[in-house]
A and B are shown apart, each in its own frame.
Chain A
Amino acid sequence: MAEFIDIYLLPGLWILGKVLLIVVPLLLAVAYAIYFDRKIWAAIQLRRGPNVVGPWGLLQSFADGLKLLLKETIVPSGANKGVFIIAPVLMFVVAFVAWAVIPFDDGLVLSNLNVGVLYLFAISSLGVYGIIMSGWASNSRYAFLGAMRSAAQMVSYEVSIGFVIVTVLLCVGSLNLSDVVMAQEGLWFFIPLFPVFIIFFISALAETNRAPFDLPEAEAELVAGYQVEYSSLTFALFWLGEYTAVLLMCAMTTTLFFGGWLSPFDNFLFNWIPGMEAFNAFMPGLVWFLLKTFFFFFVFSWIKASVPRYRYDQLMRLGWKVFLPLSLVAVIVTAGVLVAFDMLPNAS
């Protein structure tokens, strides 16, 4: 019995504790991300935003969550009940599972997978199932149209995201996300790979169905797309899953192009300042990681508040005729430059 506790129970509980240590702050972060999102749009549109519940409206997300929790879950009579209920759960779970491999700080990662980048790519491509299943199971025209659009959109932009990731991996020589961050010491990848970073960021907007690519839920033409039949907790799960996916894309941008937990002041531009080294050593990497992620979240909201929605054929054209060739060229050029100047990592 003692052996059972030592070998199976304690490590299991330890892993469970670490999982909770990621999931609970992440849920809180999502609640406040929704609040910040609304505040940022409000500020850009010269409104006040949520300001009633709690001081400065800080408790607005929790009030909304409680309200949704207490409402009745309505399943349409024509809906395919099992799939209808699994879809939002799937979307929520998939969005959270991906955080297992994100390195928050040096060594501060739940699962330091050797194929971390591939895992992230694989899990983020699963998000489309929640949308397709909900659209089909709702048995409603608006929901189905939204799901069809979303499926086409997410599959198209995944291709260019894949090539962008290949470009980054060529410069790293490893699929481990911690290695990706460590390879950026001194020079963050967004400087040498700037065009690729732009492609990645726009594709990330499309992959997470954010404006200007929020066609799956285009309010003006599809009411709310795939979410239209959902109410109560199932709707809340969609909402949480969507924002978690957005935060994940921000964290991915930080990790792949902006040096993850590395300090922005630890380079030749700042190192001559007296005391800078002590400051860099003092600041925990987690702070930098969270600040960078939050900055990208701000950019996401900023874009949402300032640009109009794309037309569907323009969206498809951008994905297949512009980004796909450009990212392919980027892979070839990067590989060519690395080989020509003998800069390949791990060259043996």
Chain B
Amino acid sequence: MIIQALTFYLFATIAVAAGFMVIASRNPVHSVLYLILAFFTSGGLFVLMGAEFLAMIMLIVYIGAVAVLFLFVVMMLDINSVDMKQGFLQYLPIGGVIGAILAIELLFIVSSWSFGGDTSLIAATARPVVSEVGNTQSIGLVLYTDYIYAFQAAGIILLVAMIGAIVLTHRSRPGVKKQNITNQVHRTPESAVELKKIPPGQGI
């Protein structure tokens, strides 16, 4: 048990420190890299809780896909952190209010969990019997039966968001060169190559 506790505190410390560095580091690319570290360590925390499926999904979705694109964009944009600091005081109240709301919500959940009487019943219903079915299987069993509508709704929201993003960004611009694959495939040596007989000493 000591090993588990030590590992937990190691991962938790790294995750919190990385989370702090995300907002503290001056270079935006470093911020994203710290964000990835925070994702990775929270994946490790999931493994410690015995939720190995969630941990792997965390790695695949957040680190393998979302954060790559994030890093990609931040590198391409070349954000100047000095310019970003300009509006700092202007946005401080809004950011502070949002942060405070989140903190209060978290506090409510934690306090109701800690002082709200007997919570062992809730814990028992939320947790599948690990010894009987695997982690992945137990998620699969409830996701496509009890929560099918919520699952489908989440899928539709994501689809709408995806189509919306494509519609908003995909506009036809003049002067863009595009490859037409069918034309390229249908080119023959007759239409593409011309052989010329050159008389010696004269050139073309």
Chain A residues in 8 Å Cβ range of B53: 115, 118
A201 at interface by CB-CB < 8 Å: no
- A162 vs B75: C-alpha distance when bound (angstroms): 26
Closest beta carbon of chain B to A123's beta carbon, Å = 8
Contact B29 A128 (CB under 8 A): no
Contact B136 A115 (CB under 8 A): yes
Contact B63 A313 (CB under 8 A): no
- Which of A8, A121, A129, A158 is the most central at the interface, judged by chain B CB atoms within 10 Å of its CB? A129
Contact A122 B33 (CB under 8 A): no
Chain B: number of interface residues, binned into ranges: 20 to 34
- A317 vs B182: C-alpha distance when bound (angstroms): 12
CB-nearest residue of chain B relative to A152? Answer: B72
Contact B60 A132 (CB under 8 A): no
- A175 vs B134: C-alpha distance when bound (angstroms): 10
Q: Which of A128, A133, A144 has a CB less than 8 Å from the CB of B33?
A: A133
Q: Which of B27, B60, B72 has a CB less than 8 Å from the CB of A122?
A: B60
B64 at interface by CB-CB < 8 Å: yes
- A151 vs B141: C-alpha distance when bound (angstroms): 35
Which residues 198-245 in A have Cβ within 8 Å of B in the complex? none
Closest beta carbon of chain B to A149's beta carbon, Å = 11
Classify the secondary structure of A's interface with B: helix
B59 at interface by CB-CB < 8 Å: yes
How many residues belonging to A are interface residues under a CB distance threshold of 8 Å? Answer: 29
Closest beta carbon of chain B to A99's beta carbon, Å = 17
CB-nearest residue of chain A relative to B27? Answer: A80
Contact B135 A148 (CB under 8 A): no
B49-74, CB under 8 A of A: which get 1 and which 0? 00011001101100111001101100
| Interface residues, chain B, with chain A CB atoms under 8 Å away | 2-3, 27, 29-30, 33, 36, 52-53, 56-57, 59-60, 63-65, 68-69, 71-72, 75-76, 134-136, 179, 181
| Interface residues, chain A, with chain B CB atoms under 8 Å away | 8, 80, 83, 113-115, 118-119, 121-123, 125-126, 128-129, 132-133, 136, 144, 148, 151-152, 155, 158, 162, 175, 313-314, 317
